A and B are shown apart, each in its own frame.
Chain A
Amino acid sequence: MAKIKVNKSRCKGCYLCVVNCPNGLIKIDKDLNIKGIKAVYYSGTRCTGCGMCALICPDGAIKVIK
C-alpha cells in the first residue's frame, strides 16, 4: 500500500493536491505551519500511489512512497 508524505513547512496552501486526489485522501490541516498557512496532510489508508498529488504540487512538498 502506498503512502503520502507531506513536507508541511514547504506547503504554501494552494490546495491543488486536494482537488486532484482521485480518492480525496488529502485534507487541510487545522493548525498553521511555519509560514502561517494551513498545510495539507494525508488522511486515510487507501492511497493507490497514482502520484497525482505529487505531479501537481508546485513546491515539491509531496512525496509518494510506494
Chain B
Amino acid sequence: MKKLRNRQTGKPANNGPAPLCSHSLRDVENHYCAGCGHGIIHRLVCEAIDELSIRERVIGVAPVGCAVIAYDYWDFDVTEAAHGRTPAVATGIKRVRPNNIVFTYQGDGDLAAIGTAEIIHAANRGENITVVFVNNGVYGMTGGQMAPTTLAGQKTATTIHGRSLRREGYPLKILEMLSVLPGTKYAERVAVNSAHEVLRAKRAILKAFKMQMEGKGFSIVEVLSMCPTYWGMTPIQAADRIKNEVATFYPLGVIKSC
C-alpha cells in the first residue's frame, strides 16, 4: 500500500496512515468540533469508495453546511452546489456522465429544509445517484438554529424553550417520506454514536454505492450524527442522546430495499 503523504507539507504522514484511513481521505486535520459525527462519516464514505475501487470515477457533490469544505478532506473529484440544490447538480452530472459514480453529501438543513423539493423530485425521477444524509437535528454552521428534523422539546438558538409541536410542527421523517416513492430503491437509517453503529453505517453506505453501480436507482442513507456544540452536551452525552432519544423517534434500520 502506498504511503500517505500530508498534502500541506508533502512529508510522509508522521503517524503513518490512520488505521482505517484510506487513499481517498487526505491526511489532514479537519475543522469539525470535538465529537462531531462528520469526521466519522467522511471516513466511512472514503472507505466505501476505496473498497469498491471507484476512486478514479467517483464525483461527489458537497453541500452547504458544516461539511461545505468537504473537498479539502476528500481526494477525489468533488463539486460544490448551491444550498439544497445538491441532488439537482448530481442529476445533471449523472445524466451527462452516466459511467461516473455520483453521490451527494448533505446535512439536514440542506436536504430537509431548503432542498426538500430537489430531493423529493430526484427520488421520484429515480435518478441513479447515492445520497448520504447527515441528520444532527440543528443548523450547525450558522449557529445552532432549529432544523425541520429537530426533535420536539429540543432547545436550539431559535427555540429557546424547546421546540413546540403547536408552533413549529412535527419533526420531518425524510426517509419515510421518500420510501413511498417508487423511484427510491434503497433507504436505510444508521447512526454513528458507537463503534458498533459505525460498522453498520459503513455497511449501509457500501450497499448504497453498490446499488448505484448496479444501476438500480436512487439510494439514500440517513446517518444520525451528533452535534455536541449545539446540543449543549459533552460528546459522550451527545452519543447517549442519539441512542436514548433520537433513535427512538427516528428508528434505525432498513426502511426500503428493492
The contact string, 1 if C-beta is below 8 Å from chain A, for chain B 6-45, is: 0000000011111111000101011011111111100100
Give A55 to B53 CA distance when docked, in angstroms: 21
By beta carbon, the residue of chain A nearest B27 is A60
CB-based contact B19/A62 at 8 Å:
yes
Q: Nearest chain B CB to A45's CB is how many angstroms away?
A: 19
CB-based contact B29/A20 at 8 Å:
no
CB-based contact B19/A19 at 8 Å:
no
Residues of chain A contacted by B34 (CB below 8 angstroms):
12-14, 37, 58
CB-based contact A59/B39 at 8 Å:
yes
CB-based contact A51/B32 at 8 Å:
no
Classify the secondary structure of B's interface with A: loop
Q: Contacts A16-B235, A55-B198 known; A63 to B16 CB distance under 8 Å? A: yes
CB-based contact A55/B15 at 8 Å:
no
The verdict on A56 contacting chain B, using a C-beta distance below 8 Å, is yes
By beta carbon, the residue of chain B nearest A17 is B195
Q: Nearest chain A CB to B69's CB is how many angstroms away?
A: 16
CB-based contact B18/A14 at 8 Å:
no
By beta carbon, the residue of chain A nearest B196 is A52
Interface size class on chain A is 20 to 34
The contact string, 1 if C-beta is below 8 Å from chain A, for chain B 215-258, is: 00000000000001000001110010000000000000000000
Residues of chain A contacted by B14 (CB below 8 angstroms):
7
Q: Nearest chain B CB to A19's CB is how many angstroms away?
A: 6
Give A57 to B240 CA distance when docked, in angstroms: 16
Residues of chain B contacted by A25 (CB below 8 angstroms):
none
Q: Contacts A7-B15, A15-B235, A54-B19 known; A59 to B195 CB distance under 8 Å? A: no
Residues of chain A contacted by B43 (CB below 8 angstroms):
60
Give A61 to B192 CA distance when docked, in angstroms: 17
Per a CB cutoff under 8 Å, which of A12, A13, A63 touches B19?
A63
Per a CB cutoff under 8 Å, which of A5, A51, A52 touches B15?
A5
CB-based contact B39/A63 at 8 Å:
no
CB-based contact B29/A14 at 8 Å:
no
The contact string, 1 if C-beta is below 8 Å from chain B, for chain A 28-66, is: 000000000100000000000001111111111111100
Give A15 to B242 CA distance when docked, in angstroms: 16
The verdict on B199 contacting chain A, using a C-beta distance below 8 Å, is yes
Residues of chain B contacted by A15 (CB below 8 angstroms):
234-236
The contact string, 1 if C-beta is below 8 Å from chain A, for chain B 186-210, is: 0000001011001100000000000
Give A60 to B38 CA distance when docked, in angstroms: 12
By beta carbon, the residue of chain B nearest A60 is B18
Given contacts A56-B194, A63-B15, A63-B17, 19 further A-B contacts (CB under 8 A): A5-B15, A10-B15, A12-B34, A12-B35, A14-B235, A14-B236, A15-B234, A15-B235, A15-B236, A51-B20, A55-B195, A55-B198, A56-B198, A58-B32, A58-B34, A59-B32, A60-B19, A60-B43, A63-B16
Q: Closest 3 CB pairs between A and B?
A: A58-B39, A14-B35, A60-B18
